[in-house]
Amino acid sequence: MPKHLQYNKAESEEVGYVLNVLSSIHAVDAKLKEEFEKHLVTLRIKKDQILFNENEVCEYIYFIVKGALMGCTTHNKQKITTYISVENDFVSSISGLHGSGYSQEYVVAVEDTHLLAMRNDELNRLFSHHFELNYIFRVVLEKYYKDAQQRAHIIRVGNAKERYLYFAKTNPGYLDRLPLALVASLLNVKASTLLSIRKNFSGKDKNKELEEWGQKLESHINKHQSFRHKDVRLQSLAKEIGLSGHKLSIVLNSYFNKSFIDYINQYRVNWIKGSIRNPDIMQNFTLEALAYSAGFSSRSAFYSAFKKLVGMSPVEYSKTLNQEKRSLNVSVTERCS
* pLDDT, tens digit, 9 for 90 and up, residues 117-174: 999 999 999 999 999 999 999 998 888 888 788 778 777 878 888 888 888 777 766 7
The residues that bridge with 9 in the sheet, in sequence order, are 41
pTM above 0.85, yes or no: no
Residue 166's nearest CA partner among 149, 179, 154 is 154
The pLDDT value given to residue 42? 95
Task: Write down the pLDDT at residue 330.
Answer: 44
- Is a pLDDT exceeding 80 seen at residue 45? yes
Q: Is the pLDDT of residue 44 over 50?
A: yes
80, 100, 5, 92 alpha-carbon torsion, rounded to 10°? 50
3, 297, 308 from 231: Cα distances, Å: 35, 9, 21
Q: Name the more confident of 155 and 58.
A: 58
Contact 124, 98 (CB under 8 A): yes
End-to-end CA distance of the chain: 71
List the domains of the chain with CATH numbers. 8-155 (2.60.120.10), 218-257 (no CATH), 262-334 (1.10.10)
Helix axes 260-276, 314-336, angle to 10 degrees: 40
With contact defined as beta carbons under 8 Å apart, do 227 and 270 qualify? no
